[in-house]
Amino acid sequence: MSTERTLVLLKPDAVQRSLRGEIIRRIEAKGYDIVALSQRTATKEELAAHYAEHEGKPFYDPLVTYMAGGPIVALVAEGENVIKGFRSLAGGTNPTEAAPGTIRGDLGREWDAPVIQNLVHGSDSVESADREIGIWFPNL
């Protein structure tokens, strides 16, 4: 086992639906520590850096527009194997297909929108976590 850090973003739909407390509660109930947290509206620069690998794909512009469209909560969670653990806690990308007991399975709703609004983002690897944490929390 290894102690890791991961970036978690509570997307605009999570903030708009007042699910911040429930999502953070689930992260803490899983045994992870919140070591940094900030609520703000993301800048285009932060989003461009965060989603750089998707630039040029058909969903890129709608995704950046959606993520810039309201406040988000960025947080860094720390714990044993937190990257894999949070992604399991988040559930599958599509809220309709996500397993019960997961954040997306219990709280997510499918929207007729240009991009899936699925409440949360979690880093997918140690390298991604390091890069993403550097974007959202450069002083950490």
- Establish whether 118 is an annotated binding residue: yes
- Establish whether 93 is an annotated binding residue: yes
Q: Which helix (H) or strand (E) holds 49?
A: helix 44-50
Residue 76 near residue 133 (C-beta atoms within 8 A): yes
Amino acid at 120: V
Q: What are the helix (H) ranges across 68-115? A: 82-90, 103-107
Catalytic residue among 4, 24, 121, 129: 121
Q: Which helix (H) or strand (E) holds 88?
A: helix 82-90
Mark whether 121 is an active-site residue: yes
- Establish whether 59 is an annotated binding residue: yes
- Establish whether 11 is an annotated binding residue: yes
- Establish whether 26 is an annotated binding residue: no
Residue stretches of the annotated binding site: 11, 59, 87, 93, 104, 118
Residue stretches of the annotated binding site for ATP: 11, 59, 87, 93, 104, 118
Residues labelled catalytic:
121
